[in-house]
Amino acid sequence: MNHSLHRPKVVSVNSPSEAAEKTSNMIAEMLVATPRITLGLATGSTPIPVYQDLVQRHRDGTLSIAEATSFNLDEYLGLAGDHPQSFRAFMDEHLFRLVDMNVSRIHIPDGLATDLDAHTKAYEKAIAAAGGIDIQLLGIGSNGHIAFNEPGSSRTSRTRVVELTSDTIQANSRFFDRAEDVPRQAISMGIGTILEAKRIVLLATGPAKAQAVKDAVQGDANESCPASLLQYHPDVTFVLDAEASSLLQ
């Protein structure tokens, strides 16, 4: 593992739409140059415009994703892939069903897996068998979490079952009818898994992310802000709108 620290590259633009376009440009350029790449994908409201842009490029005939392989960061424990609030359903709605992706190359943790230890180990093996992740898309929680790696997660953590914090449950309750419907656990790639991606792009927009972005980019690298551990990776780009970058020096 890389033990030296690197300040992430920061790309700051005015609006969320510009930030999404910058991010989709990076992904599309890699797909055009190397169609067989492995993508690490994220869910949540922030990357939706990225996926919309990739879908539009596909419709325009300038982008094919047919040869790419994808691995999603996480999935709620206890939700089937066809549950409307599952991350599999989210990806189907916003990307997979709208482009030419090969279903056999799509990987998302199984929220209904019975042998969780075997399932998480198999997920790690599948990433390795695909040659590792070429470009990992990330978001960031207001508490600095990446994927579902909450504060306190180890830098060497691997894909595993995680307990969600009350902050994360509250933040995700907007996607459910009631806060009590939000699952309390998830399967998530670990920070160690994420750090093995060849390239990482973190997209953050809005004022609620500004403090977490500042801590991640300019704070010390420590487990109290999981995103700050990205400083151990040599090729990380934070793509930010004006509000998310407002606290950076």
Decide: 40 and 136 in contact? Cβ < 8 Å. yes
Q: Which among 189, 204, 202 is positioned nearest to 148, based on CA atoms?
A: 189
Q: Rounded CA gap, 165 and 175, in Å?
A: 16
Q: Is 74 a catalytic residue?
A: yes
Q: Which residues face 202 on adjacent strands?
A: 138, 238
Q: Would you tell me the crossing angle of helices 48-60 and 16-33 to the nearest 10 degrees?
A: 50
Q: Rounded CA gap, 15 and 171, in Å?
A: 22
Q: Is 72 a catalytic residue?
A: no
Q: Which residues face 135 on adjacent strands?
A: 39, 199
Pairing of strands 38-41, 160-163: unpaired
The count of C-alpha atoms lying within 13 angstroms of the C-alpha of 112, restricted to the half-sphere facing its C-beta, is 7
Q: Is 163 a catalytic residue?
A: no
From 110, 150, 241, 243, the catalytic residue: 150
From 74, 75, 196, 243, the catalytic residue: 74
Q: Rounded CA gap, 72 and 167, in Å?
A: 22
Q: Which among 190, 110, 120 is positioned nearest to 153, based on CA atoms?
A: 190
From 134, 145, 172, 196, the catalytic residue: 145
Q: Which two tokens stand for residue 236?
A: 């990380």
Q: Which two tokens stand for residue 1?
A: 């593992």
Q: Is 180 a catalytic residue?
A: no
Q: Which among 91, 78, 44 is positioned nearest to 181, based on CA atoms?
A: 78
From 143, 172, 215, 233, the catalytic residue: 143
Would you please indicate which residues are annotated as catalytic (active-site) residues? 74, 143, 145, 150
